Amino acid sequence: ADAVALHAARRNVADARAHVLSDGFEALPRRPRFDWIVSNPPVHNGLQTDFRVLRLLVRGAARRLRSGGELFIVVQTYVPLGAMLATQAKLEDVRTLSDDGRFSVWAARKRAQGGGGDEKKAMAGKRKREGSCPVLCER
């Protein structure tokens, strides 16, 4: 699954300076900050619902994103991700990009510091997604 995730990220964000596969944020250095964090985190531990990984991802995303950077998460539709994202003061523009009744794709943006729109324009690029993956992209 990890190799497939990296392949999809490299194909869909070909102009990224780096693609980093990570099992959470713990093993990553404090820098760099990322333009995008894209993830399809597990929400089960065996048969039991378990949002621990998702909560850690949501809580840590703003610290790892650049100003204006975006977080994209794929989860099953029943997961209360919108409510989780709404509790994060440094994330804004929380929205559902897609919902097919089974899975939802959510996005949120880190609040820009100083209001500079240049970073947002620089991240515009490709929006096409092929699958979902736990990959962080740096441009």
pLDDT for position 15:
87
Report CA Rg, the chain: 14
Tally of CB atoms within 10 A around 56 = 14
Structure tokens, 76: 């099953």
Residue 56 in this model has a pLDDT that exceeds 90:
yes
Location of structure tokens 């703003």: 62
Identity of residue 135: V
Out of 18-22, 47-51, 60-64, 105-109, least confident range: 18-22
Distances (CA, A) of 4 to 62, 94, 109, 132, 133: 26, 27, 26, 9, 8
Outline where DSSP puts E strands in 46-134: 48-49, 65-76, 91-99, 103-110
> Quick one: average pLDDT of 65-81?
96
How would residue 87 be classed by pLDDT, with cut points 50, 70 and 90? Answer: very high
How would residue 119 be classed by pLDDT, with cut points 50, 70 and 90? Answer: very low
> Quick one: average pLDDT of 98-107?
97
Backbone angles phi, psi at 53, to 5 degrees: -65, -45
Q: Is 39 helix (H, G, I), strand (E, B) or coil?
A: strand
How do beta strands 65-76 and 18-21 pair?
unpaired
